[in-house]
Structure 1
Amino acid sequence: MFAFKVARRYLLSNPSQTLLLIAGVALGVTVFIFITALIAGLAVRLTDQVTGNSAHVSLQPATRVARVLAGPDLPVESVALVSTFQRQQIRDWPMVIDLLRANPEVSAISPQISGSAFLVRSEAVAPVAVLGVEPQGIDAISRITPNIIEGDGDLGANGLLIGVRMAEELGLGAGQSVLLRTERGVERQLTVRGVFRTGLQSLDERVAFLSLQTARPLFDLPEGVTNIEVKLKDPQDARATARFLGEATGLRATPWQEKNVGLEDALKAQGQTGTMIQIFSLISIIIGVASALVLSAYRRRSEVGIMRAFGVPGGFILWVFLLQGLLIGLVGALIGCASGYGLCIWLESITRPDGTSILPIAPRQGGYAAALVLTTLGAVIASILPARSASKIDPLEAIQQ
């Protein structure tokens, strides 16, 4: 306790220097928190942009592999060919849906029939990726009906929803008819019920939606579905959930990360860059605290020498300077955490006209506990060298100076 009083007295004896030290530590912590919150916010925004209109986990039939046949009745090895004409499908999809609904991590489910087709209107022909969905679940994966700019989202028996780019390419509008020719050679006249604009070129230009029942005869799938798309409450759980669903259902479960390897690599590189900046912030704090305490130890050589001459042990002197580092680091870290959180909250409040934040920052993910612990620990480590130096001062030499 006495060592703490001496350390506090040393710090208060030169308040301007102590305030500058604490301000420097607080500034470093503020930078640490800002970078951490910014990188976390960037990761969240990029993930939302990629997964906002796509599934977090896709379930598809297991890949069939050709089997090698060999036996006494076969003179040579033969290969059992897998038919490419008959589409793979999930026949027991209602059971899979029940399993998914029982999973607390799942937020939305969309059984689908997907296939390729052409839209034909007069002499204009456009390739299109067709998604047959349950009419009540059309917005389960992508927000389509809120983005309809013409018509409505009522698919009905012969309804079709197309993107605005495709509508412009074919000169189509709500209420007009168009011929759909599927990859199976089946043709059907459909009516455009609505035109949507999501802002994603892949959706607005090449995707059309129709009801699941309408898609069945078009793609020769009277019972099953081709895939089941799943949304999760936390996109970062996609890998673990996909692994569980694959083992539980026997289907091929693909998390969104495997479809966006480039994004995952970019997020990792971004995180590594942020870590380097955080490390340099901590190094600057350690150097600042160490240099100030070295100077303090030099200035107080005579005082330390007198204490040593009166029999004060070197361990006590060591503790005095360690406690100075602890107090500087702890107070500076607390102030830095508070100022960093305030800065992040203020930056988050600056929004665009559409309500989104200008900076993709996540104030609640600023790493405050890590900043507090690492900064305090760093300040204590920084004080070790001057503390050891002060504890080894020769009393006679110090008094004579």
Structure 2
Amino acid sequence: MIDKPLLAGVMILLTLSLIMSYSLSVYTVLHFHYTDFHFFIRQSVAVFIGFVTMVILSKMDPDKWFSKVGLLLFILFFILMIVMQFLPASLVNAVGGAKRWIHLGPMSIAPVEFFKVGFVFFLAWSFSRKFLSRTNMGFFEELRAFSPYLAVFFVAVMLIAVFQKDLGQVVVLGATLLVLFLFIGSSMKFFFTLLTGAFIAVIGLIFFAPHRMARIKSWWITVQDSILSVLPFKAVQDLRVEASVKEPWQISNSLNAIHNGGFFGQGLGNGQFKLGYLSEVHTDFILAGITEELGFLGLLLVTLTILLIIFRIFKIASKVKDPMYYLFSIGVGLLIAFSFILNSYGISGITPIKGIAVPFLSYGGSHILASCVAIGMVLMVSKKVPRGADGRIL
């Protein structure tokens, strides 16, 4: 028996995604002269394909199909991320020098979304074979043992952060990798060494990319007064950025949309900031759009549903006996959690905007389908969890 609460939570968010893709895309539809149901139909196709894929995967025998599906995701989309850099412009259109999507007729595929799921499988598959029986490794032994995974991650960083200019996805993958290291017994010394190295690497990727530096400065304008006001040191005040930097209007309008929603919201379809003030609000800023139209209550329900999904995934992981299933389920839960945190922090101005989609909610076929594939594999695993006569997890 699959985990029905997990399936129900995912379906609630996918249904809300369809509703909001119609409600929030009104300005984009008018601006580009699309039909009224342009985004709704495209999202409906993605949700339908994702749902069918999720159901098919959930019915498969994990002992027979789980590893095959996971390895296919990892190998195929790792190769695609490499090959897409050399494909012609008719298949891969560079936007700002970044090649992120492969165009196949009316469809576009973002390989990185599927690679994330495959990467988590690769880690779970390999970790369960190599490390769970090892204990008390020294620091240099840990470094030597984990170096192949760090090498694979470094290649992924180059492909995603450098060629695709998508630092947010790297942050999600890196955070997931670090936490999984802890789950297989790495020492805290090794963990904090990697964390320090990752922090330095992210600073480097920001410093040597002008568009990221501009985004950091734009974000800093919105938070510098509140931060610097509690730091009385004279030298710290030199960090203040003057108004010559471009105003972070996306963050400001996002905060205004959230504030305008109040507790109960303006009502479905009655949002004002989707009318050209927040560009592409049905994608990365969908939480701000939901909050304006459905209020704090709507945002709370979305957050609780996300937490329910993560909780059910972790509960499945805690009860399943196979270490590969255990680590994969944890990894999927972490991907969802980190993506939701980075997006919600970005639209509220706590951190710079990363361009991360909200799991199961944001408009976009690739992330919807990839998320459904991940949940389908977890549902496949959930059949191995011991249950009582009433279907509850024991």
Larger strand share, 1 or 2: 1
Larger helix share, 1 or 2: 2
Normalising by structure 1, what TM-score?
Answer: 0.21
